[in-house]
Structure 1
Amino acid sequence: MPSTAPDPLPPGLDPWAVARRFEPVVRYTQGELFFPMAVEDYVARAALWSRPAVPAPGRRDRTRSRVADHGELTLDGLLQRADEHRDSRLELRTVPGPLARRERLQWRRRPDRARLSSTSRLATVGLLGRLIDVLFRLSLVVRGAVPGGLTAAIQQAHPTPADPQAGHPYYAHVSSDGRYLVVQYWFFYAMNDWRSTFGGVNDHEADWEQVTVFLSPREGWSDPDGRALPTDPADWRVAWVAFSSHDETGDDLRRRADDPDISWVGDTHPVVHAGAGSHSGAYLPGDYLIRVEPPALQRFLAAVRRTRRALFPWTDDEHKGLGIPYVDYARGDGRHIGPGTDHPWQPVLVDDDTPWVRDYPGLWGLDTDDPFGGERAPGGPRYERGGTIRASWGDPVGWAGLAKVPATAAELHATQQERLAELGRQERSLSADIAQRTRALQSTAVGVDAVPPTLARERGGIGARRRVREKESAVADLEQERRTLVVEREYLQRAINRPVETPPHAHLRHRAVPDIDPDRPPGLLLRVWTEASLSVLLALLGVALLLGYDSALLLGGVAILAVTGVEAVLRGRIATYLVGLAVLVVIGGAIYLAVTNLRVALAGLLLLAAVAGAVANVRALLRRR
C-alpha cells in the first residue's frame, strides 16, 4: 500500500529524536479515570466482532458474530483475523459488558476515587436550551447509546498504573509536507466517559486524540542548495501547534508558537489541557461551555436566532440559550504527564508501514449505530469510521489550514514577490482589455446616438441602447476589478518594504477560551431554579390542558410569563425582559387587530408611520441648526 505522506523525510533525520524533542505535556482534570495506554494491553483483553459490511436494503443490520473471544487476541492475531474478514465491519470490545447495578454502586463509592467539583451547566442557558436538553436525553432511549455501567467495567479492566514511573505511551507519526515537518502525537484511551462521569454529551468505547506540532527550519539555518531540510532536530523550531478539539476545524485548530494562550515546558514542549472524560485539547485551562445542536434541529435553531436578531437586535450573544449545554472541564488540576512531571512518556513511532496502523481499519470499540455519531467508537489514528484515511493523518498541513501559509520567512518573502509580479501582469492585462472594450463601447454608442429617436424605434433602437448599457456595465466591472488589484498591490508592496508582525490570533475565526469563571459560580437560587424550572413549566402547562381547552391558552400564557419572569429576576435581566415583553405585546396586538379588525390595524400602522416620520424630520431639522 503506498504511503500517504506527501513527502519523504529528510535523509539522515532521526524521527525518534524529533518526537522526543517536541513531545507535549498533557495536564488532566481532577477526577479523570482514563489515561493514555498501550494498544497491546487493550487488544489483549478485547474480543473481536464482525458485522456485514453491506446491511440488508432498508435497515441497519445489528447482527454481530464473534471472531475472537476476550483474552485470545494479540496485535498479530488481530491483523490476521482482520485480513480473514476484510469484507466485514470489525469492532473490538474490551470487556464483555457493563457492571451490574450493585457492582456499579460499589465502584462509585470507592474512597480512592477522585471527585470533580462540577459546574451547573443548565444555569448557562435559557428555557429553550433546557427543553432541547430534555428531548436529547430522551433520545438516548431510542438511539444507539453506550450502556450504563460500561465505564466502571472498563476502568476496572484497565486501572491507572500505581507506579508513576510505569509511563504512558504516545504514538508519534513524523511526516514531511513541503517545508513543514509534522509531528503527530496520538494518545489512546480505553474509554471516553464524558457523558456518564462528567455530564457531557457522549460516551464511547475507546478514544483516539492527538497533538500535532508543525516544525519549520529555524531562522539562520544554512541551506546548502536552497532545497534541503535540516537533519538535526535542533535546527527545527515550532511554528504551529494544533490540538484535538470540539467543533474546531481548519484555521481554528492551530495556534502560532508565540501565541500567549500556549504554555510551554522548556522551549519545545507545548502544554495541552485535556478535557475530563472527553480528552479533547484546550490551550487555556478552565471550564468550556459546549453548545451542541442536534442535526435535526439545526434549521429550527437557525430560524430562532434570526428571529431573535430581528426582534431584539440589542442582545449581545446570538447563541445564548440555544443548543444543548455541556461543560468540558479542562482545568489541568489532575495528573500531569510528560517532560518535567512525575509521569514520563513511553514513545512509540508509527507510520504508514506500521502493521496495526495500516491493516486494521475497524473500530476500537462498540458501534452503537448512533445516528448522531457521538456514541460510536472511533477508528484508529489512520482511519475514519468508514475506512477512509483521516485528513489529519494523510494531509495534516491542509487539515490545519496551513497549505496557504509559507513555512519560513524566506518562503514568505519569495511568495510575496511572486504575487506582486502576478498582480502587475493582471493589472496590465486588465488595462489593455479595458482600453479595447472602451473603444468598442464608444464605437457602439456613437452609432446609436447618431440615429434619430423616431427612426431608432422603427429599427430596434431600444435593443441597441440596451447593448450599450451592457457594454458600459462590463467596462465598469473591469475597472472595479483593476482598482481592487491596485489596492492589493499597494498594500503588498507596503508589507514587503515594512514587514509587520501579524497578531497571533489574526487567523482565528473563533478563539476558544474558558466560558465559565470558577471564582464566580451561579448563585444557589439560580442553580436550583434552572434544574427545576422546566419541570415546573411543563407541569403548569399540563394542568392548564386538563382544565379545558378554553382556559388552556390563557393559563399557559400566564405560566410562561411567570416562569420566564422569575428567571429574568434571578439572572438580573429584568429590564431586558420587560422590553422584550413590550415588543411581544405590540406585535401580538398588531396581529390580533389585523385578524379581527383590519381597519383599526391599518389606522394604527399609519399613525405609527406618521409619528416615526415626524420624529425623523425633527431630528434632521435640529441637526441642520
Structure 2
Amino acid sequence: MDDAQQIALLRRYEPIIRFTRGEQFFPMDAEAYIRASSLWIKRPSEEPQELVPASALTPETLAQPYEDDFGTVRFLKFVEPLSATEMAAHVLRQRRDDDLHEASFRVGTGRLARVGYASRVVDGLFRVGLLARGRVPGDAATAAALGYRTLMLQGHGHVYHGRVVEESGWVVLQYWFFYLYNNWRSRFNGANDHEADWEMVCIYLAPNGQDELHPEWVAFASHDYQGDDLRRRWDDPEVQKAGDHPVIYAGAGSHASYFTAGEYLTEIELNVLAPVTRAATTVERLWKRAMQEEPDEDASDAAHAGGSVLAIPFVDYARGDGLSIGPGQKEAWDPPLLIGENIGWVRNYRGLWGLYTQDPFAGEDAPAGPMFNRNGTVRRSWYDPVGWAGLDKVAPGAELLDVARARRAEITERRARLREHVGVKTATLRALDVQAAAMRNQPHLQRIYAQTLGDIDKLSREIDGMQAEITADDALLDSLDRYEQHLMRGGRGPLRAHIRRAHTPAPPNQAHAGRIAEIWAAVSVTVLLVAFVVLFYFNPRFLPIWLVSILALFAFIEASVRGT
C-alpha cells in the first residue's frame, strides 16, 4: 500500500474530536514543536545540560542516533520561564476570553464526595507531596499556552499523525494526536501536568466478502485501561459516528479518549501503596472464603485496575461542549502526516518529549514519542497494535465461518482418535479382567493378582477420562454447529462480551453532587484528624470509645449529606 492509498484510508475514517469547553491545546504538527524546543540531557548525579538550543534543533538533528550511559535521560524542553509582565498579560487575556466565548470552564462538584475516607486521606498526602517531589513549574502551563498561541499564529493548523499497519489479517489505522501540553492538574484539577502529550486511537479494518476493507473495531487509548477494555465493535451504539467518522470525547487537559460524553472518575493508585492494596485484597478474599461468600469478579477486576480504597480520585471532564475538530465540524483536519519507522525522529529518538522533572511517580514527566515508552522500550501499541487491543485472538468477520469450520474439523478428528483409543483400551481392560478372574483363588499368584487389579483400576480411570473428553467434545461440536448456523445467517457474537471493565461516565446525580456533600468531603478528613489529635492529647484513656462514636457520627453525616 503506497502513501497515497494510506492517506486515503486515514482520511476516509478520520475521527472527530470533541473537546471540553476551556481546552487550550489541540492536535498539532510534532515537527513544529521540535523546532521550537531545545534538547537536554540528564546524566546520573549531574545537573541537566542543554545539548541543542531551540534555535538549532530540527527534526533531522533529533533523528541522529546516539549512545548514552545507563541512567541517562534525554528530553526536550519547550517552556521557558515567564516574566511578571507576560504572566499578567496572559491572565488578563484569559479572563477576557472566558467572559466572551466558549473558553470558560466550570469545574464539576463531587470529586472527593464520590470516594471513601481512605482515598481522601491519600489524596491530601498526594497534594502535599507535590511540594516535595519533582513537578512541572507553576507557570509552565501559562508559558505553554502562550507558546502554542504563537505557533498557531504562524499558520500551523490542527493535524494528526497517521500510520497504517497490516497485521494478522487486519489493516490497522493508527491516529496519533500530539498536544503541546497536558494541563490536567493546573487547569482542570486533575492528577498531573507535563509538557507534550501523545494520544492514539486505532480503527481495525478487514476485508469483507468482496475483499473490500471495512471497519470492524475501534480502540481508544485511555487512563490505565488495556486489552479488551480498550475496544468497541464498530456497530456498538456506544461508538458514536458521523458517517464513517467515529467521535472521540477528549478529556479536558488530559486528552484521554472516551466513547461517551461525561465526567469520568479516574482513580490512580500510587506504586508505593500497591503492597498495601494487595494485602487488603488478599484479606478480603480470605474473609469471603471463610464466610463462604461468592467471589465478586467485577470487584476484583476493578481493584486490580485501580479501584482501590487507597486510590486517589480525579475527574476527567470529557463533556464535548467545546471545540470540535474533524469532518463537518467547526474546524477541519489539515492533511495527515504519515509517520513510521522510516521517519528518523520516530525511530531514533527514545528520549522524553518534554521536561524531565524526575518525579518519582512519573506523572509529571513528559512522555516519550509514539514508538517508545518512557524507559526507551518499544510500545506494544506500536509493534503489536492488534494484540494491544486484545484482537490477536479475534478473527476478522469474513474469516469467522472458516475458522469455526476448521475448529470443528479438528475437534471431530480428535474425538475420532479418542474413540479409537477407548476401543483399544477397553479391549485391554476386558483382557485384564479375565486374567484377574483366572488368578482368583490361586495363592501362588497373589502378587501378580494384586498388580493386575491395580492395572485394571488405572486403565479404568484412563478410559473414564477419555469418555469424559468425548462427551465434552460432543457438546462442543453441538455448540459449534449452532454457531456456524448463526454465522451463516449473518449473525455476530455479543457486542460487549469481551469487556471486563467498561469506563462509564458518572451518573448525573453523582457528577453534580450537592454543594454540602462536596464541602463535607473536603473538610471531613481534616476534622477527623484534628478530633483524633485532641482526644489523644486530652483524654487518651477513652480514645477507642470516642473513636467509635466519632466514626459513627461521621458515617451518619456522610449518609445525610449524600442524600442532599
Partner residue in 2 for 1:368: 357
Aligned mates of 1:479, 1:456 — CA distance in 2:
36
Partner residue in 1 for 2:323: 335
Aligned match of 2:224 in 223, 228, 247? Answer: 247
Partner residue in 2 for 1:184: 174
Aligned mates of 2:120, 2:436 — CA distance in 1:
68
Specify the code of the residue in structure 2 equivalent to 1:51. Answer: K
Q: Compared with structure 1, are the counterparts of its residues 160 and 444 closer, same or farther at alpha carbon in structure 2 (3 Å cutoff)?
A: farther
Aligned mates of 2:68, 2:280 — CA distance in 1:
48
Aligned mates of 2:186, 2:451 — CA distance in 1:
72
Matched, 1:155 2:145: yes
Partner residue in 2 for 1:35: 26
Aligned match of 1:427 in 407, 415, 429? Answer: 415
Aligned match of 1:44 in 25, 29, 35? Answer: 35
3-state DSSP class of the match of 1:29? coil
Q: Deviations over 1:147-182 (max 9, x none)?
A: 322211211211287779963111111121233221
- 1:445-484 aligned at under 5 Å gives the runs 459=447, 469-484=457-472
- 1:139-538 aligned at under 5 Å gives the runs 139-159=129-149, 167-221=157-211, 235-266=212-243, 268-304=244-280, 310=287, 318=299, 322=309, 323-346=311-334, 347-409=336-398, 411-440=399-428, 459=447, 469-499=457-487, 500-517=491-508, 521-538=512-529
Partner residue in 2 for 1:91: 75
Partner residue in 2 for 1:568: 559
Q: Compared with structure 1, are the counterparts of its residues 288 and 62 closer, same or farther at alpha carbon in structure 2 (3 Å cutoff)?
A: farther
* Aligned residues of 1:541 and 1:556 also touching (Cα < 8 A): yes
Q: Deviations over 1:307-331 (max 9, x none)?
A: 6685797999856882221111111
Aligned mates of 1:570, 1:314 — CA distance in 2:
32
Specify the code of the residue in structure 2 equivalent to 1:47. Answer: S
Aligned mates of 2:512, 2:359 — CA distance in 1:
34
Aligned mates of 1:503, 1:454 — CA distance in 2:
65
Specify the code of the residue in structure 2 equivalent to 1:364. Answer: W
Aligned mates of 1:566, 1:13 — CA distance in 2:
64
Q: Deviations over 1:99-134 (max 9, x none)?
A: 478965764553214332222210111112212222
**Structure 1 residue 398: deviation in Å?**
1.6
Q: Compared with structure 1, are the counterparts of its residues 15 and 314 closer, same or farther at alpha carbon in structure 2 (3 Å cutoff)?
A: closer
* Aligned residues of 1:164 and 1:343 also touching (Cα < 8 A): no
Deviates more, 1:194-203 or 1:295-304: 295-304
**Structure 1 residue 459: deviation in Å?**
4.9
Q: Compared with structure 1, are the counterparts of its residues 466 and 378 closer, same or farther at alpha carbon in structure 2 (3 Å cutoff)?
A: farther
TM-score of the two chains, using structure 1 as the length reference: 0.78
Aligned mates of 1:33, 1:548 — CA distance in 2:
53
Structure 1: runs of 5+ lacking an equivalent: 1-8, 56-60, 222-234, 574-625
Q: Compared with structure 1, are the counterparts of its residues 488 and 368 closer, same or farther at alpha carbon in structure 2 (3 Å cutoff)?
A: farther
Q: Compared with structure 1, are the counterparts of its residues 66 and 432 closer, same or farther at alpha carbon in structure 2 (3 Å cutoff)?
A: same
Higher relative contact order (Cα pairs below 8 Å, separated by 6+ residues): 2
**Structure 1 residue 526: deviation in Å?**
1.1
**Structure 1 residue 413: deviation in Å?**
1.5
* Aligned residues of 1:242 and 1:253 also touching (Cα < 8 A): yes
Aligned mates of 1:165, 1:263 — CA distance in 2:
31
Q: Compared with structure 1, are the counterparts of its residues 144 and 444 closer, same or farther at alpha carbon in structure 2 (3 Å cutoff)?
A: farther
- 1:55-94 aligned at under 5 Å gives the runs 55=44, 61=45, 63-80=47-64, 83=66, 89-94=73-78
3-state DSSP class of the match of 1:95? coil
Q: Compared with structure 1, are the counterparts of its residues 449 and 557 closer, same or farther at alpha carbon in structure 2 (3 Å cutoff)?
A: farther
* Aligned residues of 2:28 and 2:156 also touching (Cα < 8 A): no
Specify the code of the residue in structure 1 equivalent to 2:478. Answer: E
Aligned mates of 2:175, 2:135 — CA distance in 1:
29
* Aligned residues of 2:63 and 2:347 also touching (Cα < 8 A): no
Specify the code of the residue in structure 1 equivalent to 2:405. Answer: Q
3-state DSSP class of the match of 2:483? helix
Aligned mates of 1:496, 1:510 — CA distance in 2:
29
Q: How many pairs were matched up?
A: 540
Aligned mates of 1:277, 1:456 — CA distance in 2:
89
Aligned mates of 2:91, 2:532 — CA distance in 1:
37
* Aligned residues of 1:165 and 1:344 also touching (Cα < 8 A): no
Give me the identity figure in percent. Answer: 36
Q: Deviations over 1:227-256 (max 9, x none)?
A: xxxxxxxx4221111111112211111111
3-state DSSP class of the match of 2:191? coil
Specify the code of the residue in structure 2 equivalent to 1:236. Answer: L
Aligned mates of 1:160, 1:463 — CA distance in 2:
90
**Structure 1 residue 66: deviation in Å?**
1.3
Aligned mates of 1:453, 1:524 — CA distance in 2:
91
Aligned mates of 2:312, 2:441 — CA distance in 1:
68
* Aligned residues of 1:167 and 1:343 also touching (Cα < 8 A): no
Structure 2: runs of 5+ lacking an equivalent: none
Aligned mates of 1:512, 1:139 — CA distance in 2:
28
